[in-house]
A and B are shown apart, each in its own frame.
Chain A
Amino acid sequence: MLLKLRDIRKSFPGADAPVPVLRGIDLDLDEGESMALTGESGSGKSTLLHLVGGLDRPDAGRLDLDGVEVTALDDSGRAALRRGTVGMVFQQFNLIPSLNVGDNIAFQARLAGRHDAAATAALAERLGLGPHLAKYPEQLSGGQQQRTAIARTLAARPRLVLADEPTGNLDEATAEAVLDTMLELVAETGAALLMVTHSTHHAARMGRRLHLRAGRIA
């Protein structure tokens, strides 16, 4: 089992008392599997994704990723996990504006120590970014920027790809194209995919779907 969550709980400080966001989540995900995480706004989807990615820590529960108990890791351990095991695709792309497209794509692979120039170039070509490698993010369209972010994630060859509404900022046609490419490439690398989405159509394209309601699995 690549990812195993048991009784994960998380609250955030409220005006009077802590506001529970996740109220005991159990989840298993195998290598090569894809799962859509759906639910209304505020249901805890993004929070769950952040906990899995080691960006935040749960208040209670246990989270194992690739045989490592993530909940027991300190800051640097979780940073190493994000570098080496997890790849993240954000709704806002989060590219580095001062690096060109080529350097942005290679960035995480370099951090992980898995940079392969030829493989990166091939990946960029497949994503239609070949002619844009010397450009800077501000010179790209939204779809091109998200493809760059996907390329950055996949070039590092992570075991688990976490995507937080990756098409949320794109028009319908572009969103469909970007999702096609992402699913295809993730499947090729054998990585698992956990994707937050509001779209039932996109969720239907995943292997499994987990619906959250008020911090619990519905």
Chain B
Amino acid sequence: MTRTVLWALLSHWRRALLQLFTLIAGLALATGLWSGVQAINAEARASYDVAAATLGEGRYARIEAASGGEIALADYVALRRAGWQVSPVVQGRLGEVRLVGIEPLTAPGGIGPGAEDADIAAFLSGVGQLFGRAEALDALPALDAERVVAPDVAPGTVLTDISVAQRLLERDGVDALLVAPEQPLGRADLAEIAPDLALRLAQDGSEIGRLTDSFHLNLTAFGLLCFAVGIFIVHGAVGLAFEQRRPVLRTMRALGVPLGRLVALMVAELTGIALVAGTIGVGLGWLLAASLLPDVAATLRGLYGAEVAGGLTFRPVWWLSGLGIAVLGTALAAGAALWRIATMPLLAAGGRRAWAMADARSARWQGALALGLIGVASALALWGDGLVAGFGTLGAGLVGAALALPLLLGAVLAAAARLARGALAQWFWADTRQQLPGLSLALMALLLAMAANIGVSTMVGSFRQTFTGFLDQRLAPELYIETADDAQARTVEAFLAPRVRSVLPLASVEIEVAGLPAELNLARPDPTYPENWRFLQSVETPWVRLAAREGVLINEQLSRRAGLGLGDAVSLGPRAELPVLGIYGDYGNPVGQVIVTEALFAELHPEIVPRRFGLRLDPDEVPRIRAALIAEGVAEAAITDQAALKRFSLQVFERTFAVTAALNVLTLAVAGFAILMSLLTLAALRLPQLAPVWALGLTRRRLAALEMLRAVLLAALTTLVALPVGLALAWVLLSVVNVAAFGWRLPMALFPAAYAQLGLFALLAAALAALWPAIRLARTPPAALLGVFASER
């Protein structure tokens, strides 16, 4: 019996190939977009983890020079003699490759060459060995050291013995000392042995991982939205398939097929389809990830300095999760339909209900549910707290808006029908309204796709605009220089003082504020700051009061995390407790920051001589000053002009945009596909509705044109609804999710031209989707239309 019933169930798809294609394609696209994004995330995270494992980053405390320079060999030796279990690390770049030198005998466990057959003697002696991935080793210039392929080493990194690294990098000192977790008791304090060095405590997880979380969170949110769009397509296809089979299922039950067996076989049938579509989807996701990953890797490298391999690795976890999400999505999409089958009375009306034809009662329920969800979203946005509330707002708001769409469109079309003059116009509006239930799922998919596009574009655009403004603020000096040592710093500053408008020293030191890690920066009293910096909140004349040592400035992250507001005291040491004078935006920086005036900084940290300077001068003077500095012995690479820095930063954003734009286009394409499939599926059901109008004198060509117009009109109305939904989505991402996840809020900017362009794309997608069904209608033979009037079949 099982075989017979399964055969009969599957025979439906043989006769409804388009429907099967819609179902598989929708599910595959949804899974593909989701798993593609997951693949990118998984690959990037795996790269960070390898990087963290290679360098012990985050896992071990580090000792670094307080001024940011090298650690002298003598300090290292002094610490070892005092009992400190520390291991030196030196880092530098050889061409495009990062070279990391470690001391394997003293390095904490788990750090070092990852190859299982690593020969420690060869690593330490002779010309040395270079461990790295094949592509990193290939990118090295010609060197005498032996190259050993080690896939476990971080992408773009080559690991070697510290002496080899120093020789190749032409360096004497070390960059940092890794501090082993187990340390002998009673050892002398770091400040006694090496007062110039500072201890950075171990952190939970990889620092790079936290830095890039924002990017991945956005990608994940985008992947989820794409998946939701796909699931709408699947829901439509499954709903239609089940609706069409209702009479057949009733017949089968009447002929003696038990309900339980029937439902179980339908679940098996759908699971099989989900697995096939899921496999295709994961393959598509792989292709998507492979094509986007080089751009993502470049973005992450530029934005956060994180190295991510440019290629994909086979990761069974995301293959399995892709298949899992396909099955889950099918269950979500088909759950309601299966439930209807399972609870359908055997003697229910056997006639075919119009597909998804909502009666007045279900429309009321849908309206109530939509209102309820929008209410929940608003309440969460206003009073909720944290990431869960943020994502709850997003989910409830988007689903609520999608459910409300058909009702809104229905109301608009009803109003248009009332205003219509002439028989054809009246028929057009009434017929469009009748089409709405059949098209509503596709239009909901379009709404979600458009809202996602508007939301994510607004978010990324706001980020770019804010960050550009922020760069203008922070990169106000025309030139930046970095001196080699304290002596050169003093000489250069004296040299520059009479030649430029202002010399702004830059230095920072790591401190703790309210138990949180933060960095202390200095600001020299200068008009540059009040002219360029913008505060989120501040007292009157904050810069004047800062210069008078009456307080400090803090960034938004520190303000939110430590709960510090204007006037609250910040403790910078036993004798320095000062109120907050201003809070400034510090976008993209994960660390809290405090700014004090230069004199106070020097008093708190007399050991630090600022070695970096920002120079204010006439832009025309830049080439002359640059040449003079080089003549004074400042390395050419240590002089950066502001324009180059900005150009670099903006390039990073362009790459981010490239990824976002690619995903935007894909989501819109998926929504267009949803419309196409709905129109094609409805085309067959449309004949009985169109045939009487044709018989009354409307040509097939005219009918086809009206069908096109109808699709474009519905897409236009959907676009109008999508705009506020997308802007609300952007607001939640910027003001709720971003704040909860990263501690800073981005001001929201609007991009009307981009929205208009997106609207045009949506109309184009709808027109293209409607084109094929319209052509088919225009070419429908009169016999097919006449068949509608035949009573026999």
Are A and B co-members of a single complex? yes
The distance from the CB of A87 to the nearest CB of chain B, in whole angstroms, is 9
Q: Are B256 and A103 in contact (CB under 8 A)?
A: no
B14 at the interface (CB under 8 A from A): yes
Q: Are A55 and B254 in contact (CB under 8 A)?
A: yes
> Once bound together, how far apart are the Cα atoms of A136 and B248, in whole Å?
14
Per-residue contact bits, chain B 6-23, to A (CB 8 Å; 1 contact, 0 not): 011001101110000000
B259 at the interface (CB under 8 A from A): yes
> Once bound together, how far apart are the Cα atoms of A95 and B350, in whole Å?
12
A82 at the interface (CB under 8 A from B): yes
Question: Which residue in chain A gives the minimum CB-CB distance to B9?
Answer: A98
The 8 Å CB contact of A97, one of B7, B15, B254, B258, is: B15
Task: Identify which of residues 23-71 in chain A touch chain B, using a CB-to-CB cut-off of 8 Å.
Answer: 50, 53, 55-56
A133 at the interface (CB under 8 A from B): no
Per-residue contact bits, chain A 74-114, to B (CB 8 Å; 1 contact, 0 not): 01100111111010101010111111000100011011110
B7 partner residues in chain A, CB cutoff 8 A: 103
B501 at the interface (CB under 8 A from A): no
Question: Which residue in chain A gives the minimum CB-CB distance to B1?
Answer: A111
Count of B residues near A, CB < 8 Å? 29
> Once bound together, how far apart are the Cα atoms of A113 and B3, in whole Å?
11
With A50-B347, A142-B792 known as contacts, the answer to whether A108 contacts B255 (CB < 8 A) is: yes
Give the secondary structure class of B's interface: helix
Q: Are A56 and B347 in contact (CB under 8 A)?
A: yes
B422 at the interface (CB under 8 A from A): no
B792 partner residues in chain A, CB cutoff 8 A: 141-142
The distance from the CB of A74 to the nearest CB of chain B, in whole angstroms, is 10
Question: Which residue in chain A gives the minimum CB-CB distance to B15?
Answer: A98
Q: Are A98 and B8 in contact (CB under 8 A)?
A: yes
The distance from the CB of A85 to the nearest CB of chain B, in whole angstroms, is 9
Q: Are B793 and A88 in contact (CB under 8 A)?
A: no
B343 at the interface (CB under 8 A from A): no
A138 at the interface (CB under 8 A from B): yes
> Once bound together, how far apart are the Cα atoms of A94 and B259, in whole Å?
18
B347 partner residues in chain A, CB cutoff 8 A: 50, 55-56
> Once bound together, how far apart are the Cα atoms of A146 and B350, in whole Å?
17
Q: Are B11 and A82 in contact (CB under 8 A)?
A: no
Interface size class on chain A is 20 to 34
B187 at the interface (CB under 8 A from A): no
B8 partner residues in chain A, CB cutoff 8 A: 96, 98-99, 103, 107
> Once bound together, how far apart are the Cα atoms of A110 and B11, in whole Å?
16
Q: Are B346 and A111 in contact (CB under 8 A)?
A: no
Q: Are A80 and B346 in contact (CB under 8 A)?
A: no
> Once bound together, how far apart are the Cα atoms of A82 and B792, in whole Å?
30
With A92-B350, A142-B792 known as contacts, the answer to whether A82 contacts B256 (CB < 8 A) is: yes
> Once bound together, how far apart are the Cα atoms of A26 and B90, in whole Å?
100
Q: Are A111 and B256 in contact (CB under 8 A)?
A: yes
Q: Are B15 and A79 in contact (CB under 8 A)?
A: no
> Once bound together, how far apart are the Cα atoms of A53 and B256, in whole Å?
10
The distance from the CB of A172 to the nearest CB of chain B, in whole angstroms, is 15
Q: Are A110 and B259 in contact (CB under 8 A)?
A: no
Question: Which residue in chain A gives the minimum CB-CB distance to B345?
Answer: A56
> Once bound together, how far apart are the Cα atoms of A112 and B1, in whole Å?
7
4 pairs of A and B residues whose beta carbons are closest in the complex: A83-B256, A82-B256, A98-B11, A110-B4
Residues of B within 8 A of A (CB): 1, 3-5, 7-8, 11-12, 14-16, 247-248, 250-260, 346-347, 350, 792-793
Besides A75-B259, A111-B4, 4 other A-B contacts (C-beta < 8 A):
A83-B256, A88-B255, A94-B350, A141-B792
26 CB < 8 A contacts A-B: A50-B347, A53-B254, A55-B346, A56-B346, A56-B347, A75-B259, A76-B258, A76-B260, A79-B256, A82-B254, A82-B255, A83-B257, A86-B256, A94-B247, A94-B251, A94-B350, A96-B11, A96-B248, A98-B12, A98-B248, A99-B8, A103-B8, A107-B4, A107-B255, A111-B256, A141-B793
